[in-house]
Structure 1
Amino acid sequence: MTDSPNRADDVRLTAWVRGDVQGVGFRWWTRGRALELGLSGWARNTADGRVEVVAEGARDLCDRLLGALRSGRTPGAVDAVVEQWGLAKGNLTGFVER
């Protein structure tokens, strides 16, 4: 997929992933899935052991990323994913590991 300019109907997905998700390649794996979908954003470890994922793009593509996070086919082991939806801010370029 190619990067497209931020559209008015784009959304921002913030997901907090709990489980054995730090030090197992989870952020790298998430970055790969997001780039395949053409999403912008980032993934970072949090101090409490979770991974926070922020992704912007079309709602259906963000839904697909969320589904991948919950798929059971990630590095490590995901116990739970909590999601929050909002309007895209349009200030993200590419997808990075923080």
Structure 2
Amino acid sequence: MHEVVRQVMIRGRVQGVGFRYWTMREAIRFGVGGWVRNRRDGSVEALFAGSTEAVAEMITRCRSGPEFARVDDIEDQPVAANALKMIRPGERFSQLPTV
């Protein structure tokens, strides 16, 4: 099992539909660490860290999102593990404030 860290930008109707909560719940379910937050441009940004398989599954699930979301585009790229420092102490996956 190889540990990877990927940053994901999700665009479409992804705010106001429970996307961040859904992402947090799914990440915990699949044992993925990281964080999720809204962006002022209307997108959702997430950072996923975990096994190659679990992170790939999270990205695949984000292509559909929760029931009322409409995902138009997803971009993902590898990032350095130090990006995980934004996780709140005591949490494996955090919902961060909008930027």
Gapped runs of 5+ residues in structure 1? Answer: 1-6
Query: 1:88/1:59 Cα in 2 relative to 1: closer, same or farther (>3 Å)?
Result: farther
- Verify the 8 A CA contact 1:10 1:87 in the aligned structure 2: no
Whole-Å Cα distance in 2 between the matches of residues 31 and 73 of structure 1?
11
Whole-Å Cα distance in 2 between the matches of residues 88 and 18 of structure 1?
24
* CA drift at 1:88: 3.2
SS at 1:24 equivalent: coil
RMSD: 1.8
| Bigger mean CA offset, 19-28 vs 74-83 | 74-83
- Verify the 8 A CA contact 2:7 2:47 in the aligned structure 1: yes
1:60 aligns with 2:53: yes
Larger % of helix: which? 2
Query: Which among 37, 41, 44 is matched to residue 48 of structure 1?
Result: 41
Gapped runs of 5+ residues in structure 2? Answer: none
Query: 1:51/1:17 Cα in 2 relative to 1: closer, same or farther (>3 Å)?
Result: same
Aligned to 1:94: 92
* CA drift at 1:76: 1.4
1:83 aligns with 2:83: no
The amino acid across from 1:57 in the alignment is G
- Verify the 8 A CA contact 1:57 1:88 in the aligned structure 2: no
1:69 aligns with 2:62: yes
SS at 2:7 equivalent: strand
Query: How many residues get paired?
Result: 90
Q: TM-score, normalised by structure 2?
A: 0.81
1:15 aligns with 2:38: no
